[in-house]
A and B are shown apart, each in its own frame.
Chain A
Amino acid sequence: MNSSSLTPTDSSLPEEFRFLCMLHNIGATTPERSLTIDEISRWVSMDTSVIRIHLQRLIEMGYVELTRIGEEDKYHLTHSGIRKVLTLYS
C-alpha cells in the first residue's frame, strides 16, 4: 500500500472511516444532534443495511455512540470519534 498518497477524500480510505467522516460532516457530533439510520441514509445516499454494519463496527471501536430517544435509536460521534476524523484535516 502506498499510504503516503492517501488523503481525506481518497477512495482508498477504509470504508467505515469514510462513513465516520461523513457522519461527522453532517453534524452528528452531540447527543442532541444525533440521527436515526433513516436520516443518515438520506444524507449520505447509502443503503440502511450498509449503514447498520458500519455503525455497529464504529460503536465497537468507540467512535460512535447509540442513544435511545423515545422509540428511536439515534447515533452520534463520541469525542474519540471526532478526534479520529479531525486527524485527517490538519
Chain B
Amino acid sequence: MLTWEYPPRIVGGIARHCEGLAKALTKLDVEIHLITLDFPGTPLYEENEGVKIYRAKIEIGHPNFLTWVMIFNHFLEKKLAEVVKQASFDLIHLHDWLVAPAGIAAKHFLNLPLVATLHSTEHGRSGLHIPDSFTIDSWEWWTTYEASKIIVTSNSMKHEVCGHFHVPWEKVEIIPNGINLAKFQVSVDRNSVRARYGISPDEKLILYVGRLVPQKGVEYLIQAVPMVSSRYHNAKFVIVGEGWLRDYLQSLAHSTGHGWRIIFTGFIPDNEMIALMKSADVLVVPSIYEPFGIVALEGMAAGVPVVASQVGGLSEVIEHDKTGVFVYPRNPESVAWGIDHVLSNPGHAEWLVRNAFEKVKNVFSWEAIASRTIEVYKQVLGG
C-alpha cells in the first residue's frame, strides 16, 4: 500500500483512512506492507497492529511543488525497491495522485496489478485554473487509466470520476470510509473539556473540525455566527484544525464583531478531538466540496448532532432530519437555521444522535469495509 500520509503524519482524511483500512485488512489475514513518507520523530520502519510501515526519507528537495512531488516519488520507489528484496507482493494499492508516479512505476517493474483509491479530484478540490492543476488532473487521469480497479468512497465521487475522466462505470467500485467505533467509546468529563477552551457548562458549544482550506466552507459558518448569537447569547464556536486559510478566517471572525466567541485551536491530537466532539452541542460540516466527509461520521460516532452541507459524499452519509441536518452549501443563513434546528429541539437532537450512531455501527465499520476491499482485490487477481 502506498500513501503519502500515515499517522502521525496526519493531514486530511487519507491518513486515517489508510490506518483504519490497513489494520482491518491485517486482521482479515491480508499482509500489508505500507510505504509512506517520513515525519520528524517517527521510525523509518515499525510494525503497528500487524501493519508493516516503511517510511521513505526525502533526501533532496525543490521549492516547486510539483517538482518536489516527483522527487519524493523517487524516494518512495527507492524504498519500495528495498522492500521487494525482503517480501513478495500480489498487488499494489495506491491512495491518491500524490503517490501515483511511484505506484504506476511499481506496477510495471514488478508486473503486478494496480488498485487506486481516489479520495478526491483536483477538478473538485480547486477547479482547473492554472497549469499545475492541469498537470495534477492529468496525473489523476493517468492513475485511472493504469489501475485495474478504482475505488472511490461515495456515489458522487463515482459520478465525478467516471464523468470527468471518462472511466468505464464498471471499473469504479464504491467503498465508503470507515470508522473505529471503539476510539469513540470513551467517557469524558464534559465540563473540564469545555473549561480548557474557556467554555462554561451552560454555554452552547458549536464545533467545526477539519482543514482550514476553501473547500471546507468554514467562512460560511463564521458568517453565520452573528445570526446564531442573536438567538443564543451564550453561543461559543470552536474551530479545530490547521490550514493556509487560517489567517483569513481569523480576520473574518474578528470582522463579525463576535471574534471573542470564536476560538481557533489549531491542530489537536485525536483523543482531544474526540473529547471535544463529545462535549459539543453541535458539529457543523459546512463543506462546499466533500467526496466523503469522514468528520461527519466521526461526529455521529461521538454522539454529537451533525449539521452538514448537502454536498458530495455527505449526502450519502447523512439522512436529513433522521441522522443529521442538511443545510445549503455556501449559505450562512441556512447554516444558522441548521444550528438553531438542533439547539432549539433537544429531544429531536437526541433522536438524531441515536439514529446516527446506529447507522455508523451498522454500515461504516472498518471490518465491513476491509471485506469489501478484499473482494476488489480478488476481482483484480482473477480469484
Binding site for B on A (CB under 8 A): 1, 3-10, 13-14, 17, 21-22, 25-30, 43-44, 79-80, 82-84, 86-90
Choose among A7, A22, A79, A87 the residue that contacts B243 (Cβ–Cβ < 8 A).
Answer: A87
Chain B, Cβ-Cβ closest to A2: B214
Q: Is B46 an interface residue (CB 8 A)?
A: no
Q: In the complex, how many angstroms separate the beta carbon of B14 from the nearest chain A beta carbon? A: 5
Choose among B40, B130, B242 the residue that contacts A10 (Cβ–Cβ < 8 A).
Answer: B130
Contact A83 B129 (CB under 8 A): no
Known contacts: A27-B60, A89-B11, A90-B119. The answer to whether A83 contacts B242 by CB under 8 A is yes
Contact B12 A5 (CB under 8 A): no
Q: In the complex, how many angstroms separate the beta carbon of A37 from the nearest chain B beta carbon? A: 15
A13–B244 Cα distance when bound, in Å, is 8
Contact A87 B213 (CB under 8 A): yes
Q: Which residues of B contact A79 (CB under 8 A)?
A: 40
Contact A25 B63 (CB under 8 A): yes
Contact B132 A8 (CB under 8 A): yes
Q: Which residues of B contact A10 (CB under 8 A)?
A: 129-130
A10–B214 Cα distance when bound, in Å, is 13
Contact A25 B62 (CB under 8 A): yes
Binding site for A on B (CB under 8 A): 4-5, 9-12, 14, 39-40, 58-68, 96, 98, 119-120, 125-127, 129-130, 132-133, 211-215, 219, 241-248, 266-267, 288
Q: Which residues of A contact B66 (CB under 8 A)?
A: 9
The total of Cβ contacts below 8 Å across the A-B interface reads: 101
Candidate in B9, B120, B242, B244 with the most chain A CB atoms within 10 angstroms: B244
Known contacts: A6-B126, A7-B132. The answer to whether A84 contacts B62 by CB under 8 A is no
Chain A, Cβ-Cβ closest to B69: A89
Chain A, Cβ-Cβ closest to B266: A80
Contact B267 A27 (CB under 8 A): no
Contact B14 A90 (CB under 8 A): yes
Contact A3 B245 (CB under 8 A): yes
Q: In the complex, how many angstroms separate the beta carbon of B137 from the nearest chain A beta carbon? A: 11
Q: In the complex, how many angstroms separate the beta carbon of A30 from the nearest chain B beta carbon? A: 5
Choose among B59, B96, B98, B127 the residue that contacts A4 (Cβ–Cβ < 8 A).
Answer: B127
Contact B5 A29 (CB under 8 A): no
Contact A86 B11 (CB under 8 A): yes
A60–B133 Cα distance when bound, in Å, is 32
Contact B5 A9 (CB under 8 A): no
Chain B, Cβ-Cβ closest to A63: B242
Q: Which residues of A contact B241 (CB under 8 A)?
A: 87
Contact B40 A4 (CB under 8 A): no
Q: Which residues of A contact B132 (CB under 8 A)?
A: 7-9
A86–B267 Cα distance when bound, in Å, is 12
Q: Which residues of B contact A8 (CB under 8 A)?
A: 65, 132
Known contacts: A4-B214, A5-B129, A88-B213. The answer to whether A17 contacts B62 by CB under 8 A is no
